[in-house]
Amino acid sequence: MKAKNEKIKKESSKIEWVYRAKGLGILLVVAGHILRGLNNANLFSGSVFTNIDYVLYTFHMPLFFFLSGIFFLRSLKKRGLKSFLLNKVNLLLYLYIIWSIIQLIVQVLLNKYINGHADFKDFLEILYLPKGQMWFLYVLLLIFIINAFIFSKFSEGYKNFILTISIIVGIYLRVITIEDYYVIDKLSANFLFFQLGIMWSMLSFKSSLNSVNYFFAAIAMVLVFTAVTYFNINNNRLDYDNQIIAAIVGILLISLISQVIKLKTLYSLGKFSLQIYLAHILFASGARIFLHKFLNVTDIYLHIIAGITFGVFGPLVLVRISEKYKIFKFLFENKIKKINVTD
């Protein structure tokens, strides 16, 4: 019984760091979108904005593809190809459509206050052209589908070979630019990191680092990440979607920090990271619009604090409301298939 409990505890710790990494990641995503919103509203600009934007966007979305790849093989093996694909389509496609529509409705109603412009033709375009942050769900679903077909068609003995080839392909896709096709460009920029997540899941059982080693490894990775990003900024290499080393170092940094800092708050944020991702733009942008357009507040620090507060806790309140009142369950749950974000 003791051995069984130790095994369960070990498996739980393997999962918990991933949620803490998601918690850190979603804070970076919210912060990045807030800063870009301030830039688009002409409240924050210059080299400081450009450099911070580069550092954040170098790795925060690749991080989520990496973390999604970690549980891919386990989920595919558990569910089988058909059930796996149905689960992903019923969840990700459903949430993509629902939240694209919700966000566009709000944007159309608030056109005179928002940074961009939305009209009714955008509703038709969501079938092939994701709007705003919704591209992540669209591209993640495509990557799930591609990998599910590839890994289900070959036996276990070919798994390492397939993964190696897919990583090589991912490296090539990362360094090229496909500007004419937005979805393909985003897919090519992030495919590599999903494959690296799969690789991590296949190698992680060999890790024997303890807490002290993780701490020093995290310190070392901070120095490496600082050096890499400083070099790129100094040499005006700010095209983050084509960079590999900076993104991988950033991912490793967050992964190591998540092994060291075991805050329950980060774990909780990670558990609700997708819900926060879906709804944070509405709340954070709403806070900025209210402060700027109605109260004439231009202090960027106040905007950042308000944006992060509303951008993170607003969606969590919405989750609570959807759990309490059935009429709002559709926000995060496909009621037809009874699949929700936590599945």
* Amino acid in position 309: T
Asked if the model's pLDDT at residue 4 lies above 60, the reply is: no
pLDDT band at 1 (very low <50, low <70, confident <90, very high): low
Rounded alpha-carbon distances, angstroms, from residue 254 to 60, 141, 224: 9, 24, 13
What does DSSP assign to residue 153?
S
The pLDDT of 319-334, averaged and rounded, is 95
What's the predicted TM-score (pTM) here?
Answer: 0.94
Q: How far apart are CA 157 and CA 160, in angstroms?
A: 7
Backbone dihedral region for residue 42 (phi beyond 0: left; psi -120 to 50: alpha; all else: beta)? left
pLDDT at 299: 98
Between helix 2-40 and helix 273-289 the angle, nearest 10°, is 30
pLDDT at 334: 85
* Domains held by the chain: number: 1
**Predicted confidence (pLDDT) per residue in 206-225, tens digit:** 555 677 889 999 999 999 99
**Predicted confidence (pLDDT) per residue in 78-115, tens digit:** 999 999 999 999 999 999 999 999 999 999 998 888 87
Asked if the model's pLDDT at residue 197 lies above 90, the reply is: yes
pLDDT band at 249 (very low <50, low <70, confident <90, very high): very high
Alpha-carbon Rg for the chain, nearest whole angstrom, is 20
Mean pLDDT for the chain? Answer: 92
Q: How far apart are CA 197 and CA 22, in angstroms?
A: 13
C-beta atoms surrounding 45 within 10 Å = 12
Of 83-92, 246-255, 275-284, 328-337, the range with the lowest mean pLDDT is: 328-337
**Predicted confidence (pLDDT) per residue in 111-135, tens digit:** 888 877 788 889 999 999 999 999 9
Tokens of 212: 């002290």
More confident residue, 204 or 243: 243
Asked if the model's pLDDT at residue 12 lies above 90, the reply is: no
pLDDT at 10: 54
Beta bridge partners of 336: none
**Predicted confidence (pLDDT) per residue in 31-79, tens digit:** 999 999 999 999 999 999 999 999 999 999 999 999 999 999 999 999 9
* Amino acid in position 298: T
Among residues 9, 18, 17, 54, the alpha carbon closest in space to that of 35 is found at 54
C-beta atoms surrounding 172 within 10 Å = 12
Asked if the model's pLDDT at residue 6 lies above 60, the reply is: no
Among residues 197, 69, 85, 210, the alpha carbon closest in space to that of 152 is found at 85
What does DSSP assign to residue 116?
S
Task: Give me the domain span that covers residue 232.
Answer: 2-340
